[in-house]
Amino acid sequence: MFNGFNMMFPDHSRPFNTTYKCYSVSMLPGNERQDVENGGKIIMPPSALDQLTRLNVVYPMLFKLTNGSINRSTHAGVLEFVADEGKIYIPYWMMHNLLLEEGDIVEIESVSIPVATYSKFQPQSVEFLDITNPKAVLENCLRNFACLTTGDLIAIKYNNTTYELSVLETKPGPAVTIIECDMNVEFAPPVGYTEPERKEKEEEPMTIDPTELMPEPVGFVAFKGEGTRLDGKKKKDNGTNDAPAVQRQTYVRGIPDYDHPYGLLRFDRSVRKTDQTEPKSEDTKFQEFQGEGCSLKKNRK
């Protein structure tokens, strides 16, 4: 019974396949349509919508555009059905990929392609590296696209600058749809980009002598005083400082504890006992003018 019913009303699920004259979006009558130029969708005539409806084409409507003269193709979605009969309007970058001129014949066929899971792009200019967050910018621009085809050179616009990106790879197939998908995106180095040479840093000499950071000696320091003439005359000033340099303690570089456990901070608050085996007596301290006097001339007996 049901087989007879299907014989009376057959399922018209044939693909849509026809040819149109191709024009760029700039030739579309009316106001300038930047939303079409900056995306990956085309504008078709109203008759195409009637034919697609009769053929029960599955949504979203995706199409394969082919330049039969050179057997070159790409994929696109449809934005509106307002074009003149027998004509379609496509973005300029798509015409450039298909090597089409204004008014050339292009073949359009409805297709069903898998949902994208991975794509890899290569910017065609080093200026693309100036974008702070390229993945976020690309994700926002791809909202105007419906498909990606391996080998295409797409164009996106950001901050009044047009950037061209080559589609190097798409998964799970050479042509994928990016409508409501979770897609991983990678970037190849831009064309003309060279890795900067890594220069080994030379060890710079210390600007501060470590000995200057050592504390000055406390207490009596030998030969630290100034010279005085025996005849009472003032010492001649030659403009040079004859005072001896202060002898600081010898700088000893510390040895790190390589066995110290990682992430452990140790605060040593223990009080160290001083060595009291040999107490210093007050007699050992230096006392001024406690020496014995001597005469330069020997006394005669």
119 with 183: CB under 8 angstroms?
Answer: yes
Asked if 97 contacts 155 with a C-beta cutoff of 8 angstroms, the reply is no
User: How far is C-alpha 233 from the chain's CA centre?
Assistant: 76
Query: pLDDT digits over 144-160, tens only?
Result: 999 999 999 999 989 88
Answer yes or no: are the C-beta atoms of 171 and 118 closer than 8 Å.
yes
Q: What is the pLDDT of residue 6?
A: 44
Query: How far, rounded to the nearest angstrom, does the alpha carbon of residue 168 sit from its chain's CA centroid?
Result: 20
pLDDT tens digits, one per residue of 168-204: 999 999 999 999 889 999 999 999 888 888 777 776 7
**What are φ and ψ of residue 63, in 5° steps?**
-135, 150
CA 279 to chain centre: 67
Confirm if 126 and 17 have CB atoms less than 8 A apart. no
pLDDT digits (tens, 9 = 90+) for 43-73: 999 999 999 988 888 888 999 999 989 999 9
Question: In sequence order, what are the beta bridge partners of 2?
Answer: none
pLDDT of residue 38 exceeding 80, the answer is yes
Residue 215 has pLDDT above 90, yes or no: no
Q: Quote the pLDDT of residue 219.
A: 67
φ, ψ for residue 143, nearest 5 deg = -65, -20
**What domains does the chain contain, in order, with CATH numbers?**
17-110 (2.40.40.50), 118-187 (3.10.330.10)
Question: With bands split at pLDDT 50, 70 and 90, how would you rate the model's confidence at 83?
Answer: very high
Identify residue 173 by its one-letter amino acid code: G
What is the rounded distance in angstroms from the CA atom of residue 98 to the CA atom of residue 73? Answer: 6
